Structure 1
């Protein structure tokens, strides 16, 4: 993130962007009542969208990256409902930064410290994916890996459906090319309705708890329910309480209108099957079941990886390193393949 204004070319030669100087914003009017304090090496910035609204992102530069070495693939993280950029900044940004990756964690509109659009909901699959695309087009020099969690994974899937080939990117910059996609405990391509119906018939008590926790937002006031919904049983209550407060403050409006969302699903298949995809799930996931994980894997023609001993919020859970290590191994192979 250069301090001085620079001009660079991304994968689309016609998309020449002037990157203006951005000061690190230390004294802002926080939208979250419990603001997230950044860790060492992290900085908070705001990307201005074509709508004029500002989208928060937290940046952490790859620590061991030296100019004489080839630049590693940038990583762009997209959160799900009731979360924001902070959920990645807690553990995974420092981890991947330490391994040389430039990391960008976004807060979608109406979430975290981002501006809120007019209306009752923050957006749709189309508008959120377009905002992510605008960010990548104007802020990232190389084709990144796009990582999405939960409903953020569904946004990544929609983005993947509209990524053109590298040749197409020479003509347009609507959805810039990606080096890869990582779907973390993602809502499957058909949406969450299948998950709900399976729970209703096979685990009615769990279905009631999930509905109460998420639809009625009871996770915000019940520590045990918040823990059961998002975290492993071994997670310390003090940490659950901290994240519960941050999640409660993260969403000034719902991420989607779920009725309209389900009407627009399933997401279309990818146009470019050469883009590498990693589908990652958690064995103790209380929200996305094993069949949902398998559905996503089948859709992308890959074998999903299910990690033992972690829950839905894999990036915040007490064993967060397990998922991070799997992704790191996959990224290492991806970089090695692209450098050939």
Structure 2
């Protein structure tokens, strides 16, 4: 998945975050050779982490018609911070969803995790761990965002968001000046469930062996990078135009210079702990035609957070890039409107 492929072969089962400095890999080959061209109103920036490494983020300021038309003066819409999964980077949000949500008044930030997109690469074979990626996101939010944002994560980015959520209010981290800043809410988009992908793997092996083989070939062996049909089947709807799939295939191939995680260390971190703030708004969104995260995985995530997941018809795993990307964006926008209204009522009481 924009994440599952990094562990498909396994069957096991704040302000500021201080991390040990890791060397930057320099040279012309450590960034995307096919750069993503920004759309109108978008700008590319780099956030310097405590390690000295720089993390790319694409920003688009909110403008146009506000999403809340109520006569009462609403609070400003919360900023939106987007976290991608494996084989993707900030560009995957910038293509469709950043323009969409910015037009509804939201300031949008899409980050590229270390070793992905135009971000620096750390020394070593992998980009980091669940803990370090969440810490990088926390450092970015603590230093770059003024208001509590809504944090959105796709696929394995969703698992990073879940780990972030579980550490909000962690007193031990606060004492070490590593606290994860408070959020206005969290959105998990086609996310790996809290227990990881092992359940998905076993279900595919026993119920859909051909699909299991294709997913393994596509992601673990990275065959999606060279096979257009396999790339389409893994990430997109069958009706997606081949020309568009080819464009995204090239960007995905260039986006991930190293795996996001060390598989064994990742498994030792799962399942993610429960959230301490049970009142934080969480939205779980899935795609009916998702080739990677099945309905059972979606329901597991919803049950874990005590919410009813929403499954969108007619879209695939890459819900923000698929030919019907508006469907998922519209559902999230509706949820954001309710979230903002509820928070406004809470302040008035």
Using structure 2 for the length normalisation, give the TM-score.
Answer: 0.86
- Contact preservation (8 Å) 1:165, 1:272: no
1:63-74 correspondence runs (5 A): 63-64=63-64, 70-74=75-79
Match of residue 332, structure 1, among 337, 340, 345: 337
What is the CA distance between 1:170 and its match in structure 2?
A: 11
Structure 1 segment 167-316 matched on structure 2, within 5 A = 174-316=179-321
- Match of 2:285, SS state, is strand
Residue 173 of structure 1 and its aligned partner are, at CA, apart by 5.8
Asked whether the equivalents of residues 160 and 270 of structure 1 are also in contact (C-alpha less than 8 Å), the reply is yes
SS for the counterpart of 1:331 is helix
1: CA distance, partners of 2:155 / 2:305:
16
- Please give the per-residue CA displacement for 1:64-84, whole angstroms capped at 9, x wherever unaligned: 389x97421000000000000
RMSD across aligned positions (CA): 2.1
The structure-2 alpha-carbon separation of the partners of 1:69 and 1:292, relative to structure 1 and needing over 3 Å to count, comes to closer
8 Å contact 1:137–1:173 — kept in the other structure? Answer: no
1:38 paired residue number = 38
CA drift at 1:177:
0.3
Residue correspondence of structure 1 range 99-178 to structure 2 within 5 A: 99-164=104-169, 174-178=179-183
Structure 2 spans left out of the alignment, 5+ residues:
1-13, 17-27, 67-72
Structure 1 unaligned blocks of 5 or more: 1-11, 16-27
Matched residue of 2:204: which SS? helix
Q: Which residue of 2 aligns with 1:3?
A: none
Mapped to 2, the partners of 1:302 and 1:181 lie a distance apart of: 12
Aligned length: 314
Question: How many Å apart are 1:252 and its aligned residue?
Answer: 0.8
- Alpha-carbon shift at residue 296 of structure 1 (Å): 0.2
What is the 5 A alignment of 1:32-111?
32-64=32-64, 70-111=75-116
Alpha-carbon distance change, 170 to 230 in structure 1, aligned in 2, over 3 angstroms: same
Are residues 61 and 30 of structure 1, via their aligned partners in 2, closer, same or farther at CA, if it must alter by over 3 Å?
A: farther
Whether the aligned pair in 2 keeps the contact of 1:188 and 1:296 (CA below 8 Å) is yes
Q: Distance in 2 between matches of 1:224 and 1:316?
A: 16
Is contact 2:153–2:161 with CA below 8 Å preserved after alignment?
yes
Deviations 1:214-233 (A, max 9, x none): 00000000000000000000
* Mapped contact 1:163–1:272 kept (Cα < 8 A): yes
Runs of 4+ displaced beyond 4 Å: 168-173
Q: 1:299 to 1:65 in 2, by over 3 A?
A: same
